[in-house]
Amino acid sequence: MLMIGLGGLVLTLGAVILEVISGQYANSVVPGWARWVPLAWPQPLRVAWWLAVAAGAAAFRWSLHRLGLRPNPVVTVGTVVPFLAFAAGIGVGADWATWH
């Protein structure tokens, strides 16, 4: 349980950090940069990426519950729903779903 939770936490935090960094360097002069970051991936792949991140956040919250820490349901919704909304926004091509 603990390893699943830690894996979900690392995935979620890593994805957010990667998205922030890639947004800052979206117009980088380094030629290969844009191909490797999620910001430049095709739309279906970005949707799948953010759904995986939402699953990671949910796994972290679920593992806390399984360990007896009883996370607040409002916090659980607040940590999972934004990633689902972001995936949905990317899926429909919303302008607010891009960071550059």
Per DSSP, the three-state class of 67 is coil
CA atoms of 57 and 95, how far apart (whole Å): 24
Question: What pLDDT does 5 receive?
Answer: 80
Range of the domain at 49: 2-97
Cα angle: 53, vertex 46, 7; to 5 degrees = 20
Tens digits of pLDDT across the chain (100 residues): 678 888 888 888 888 888 777 777 666 666 666 667 777 778 898 889 889 988 988 888 888 888 888 878 888 888 888 888 888 888 888 776 665 4
pTM of the entire predicted model: 0.76
Total domains in the chain come to: 1
Question: What pLDDT does 34 receive?
Answer: 63
